[in-house]
Amino acid sequence: HHHHQLLPYDSEEVAKKLKMGLYFGTWWGLNVVFNIYNKKVAVAHTIGHVAATVSMSKVAISFTHIIKSAEPAFSVLVSRLFLRQPFPLLVYLSLLPIIGGCALAAATELNFNIIGFMGAMISNMAFVFRNIFSKKGMKGMSVSGMNYYACLSILSLLILTPFAIAFEGPKLWAAGWQKALSEIGLNFIWWVAAQSVFYHLYNQVSYMSLNEISPLTFSIGNTMKRISVIVSSIIIFHTPLEPINALGAAIAILGTFLYSQAKQQ
């Protein structure tokens, strides 16, 4: 009788263990798939970000923006060569005013430097691959843009950490912080924190967009974002605006209008 009473309790335990085993197995299995599938995306994100950051450390930010305004050209090139995806002639043509206009709008300080140039070019290439792989990844895994970008960041952190330790390490970090704190003051801490949060947030929202649009439209959006950066810096920092910059911005805006028309056709 006693033994009989224990049985339902035991089978409940067994069922719970089976259920938890199933949960863990699925959790881990899906995670392995996610990690393997997204490895190349995380790598591309890391390369694109590091290359852009190196570029900005070598040249004026406006110069990096000029080179990075060419991202849509990389997008059509990669789609054409690697995915054999053709675009209508009008799409190719609309890229000329978009890229040329944005480059003109950003043309203020031109201190050419080969590392600054190559960094921005590598960033263009890496981000285009990242966007195309991400688009596929988000489709297959039904992970939303917001969570997808969060996973990218975490994987990117894991990839970067060993390099950061090998190339710089705690000694250089401490020296860097000391220098920044003595030159800038405690404000530096706020700048680092705010920049990190804003960097994550704008990319997160960009990925929520990428979820809905093509990689090419995404890259054009990223180029036009640079126009809004230029206009904001004119308003906030009273950066002197040359007529050629304003003309460039107008040409780029006209170019996006042409692109949207070409797309609709």
Helix 114-141 to helix 145-167 angle, to the nearest 10 degrees?
140
Residues 53-82 that bind ligand 3PG (CB under 6 A): 53, 68
| Cα 169 off chain centre by | 25
Cβ proximity to ligand 3PG: between 66 and 251 the closer is: 66
- Which of 256, 199, 179 has the alpha carbon at shortest distance from 223? 256
Q: Give the nearest distance from C-beta 52 to ligand 3PG in angstroms.
A: 4
Of 41, 47, 52, 67, the one binding ligand 3PG by CB under 6 A: 52
Burial (Cβ within 10 Å: 0-12, 13-18, ≥19) of residue 152: buried
Largest CA distance in the chain: 96
Cβ proximity to ligand 3PG: between 53 and 260 the closer is: 53
Cβ proximity to ligand 3PG: between 62 and 222 the closer is: 222
Residues 122-151 that bind ligand 3PG (CB under 6 A): 127
Note whether 209 binds ligand 3PG by CB under 6 A.
no
Q: Segment near ligand 3PG (CB under 6 A), from 22-30, 49-57, 174-182, 240-248?
A: 49-57
Cβ proximity to ligand 3PG: between 18 and 194 the closer is: 194
- In the chain, the amino acid numbered 56 is M
What DSSP assignment string belongs to 179-211?
A: HHHHHH-THHHHHHHHHHHHHHHHHHHHHHHHT
Cβ proximity to ligand 3PG: between 69 and 245 the closer is: 69
Of 79, 156, 222, 245, the one binding ligand 3PG by CB under 6 A: 222
CA dist., res. 45 & res. 51, Å (int): 10
Name the residues that contact ligand 3PG, by CB under 6 A: 49, 52-53, 68, 127, 222
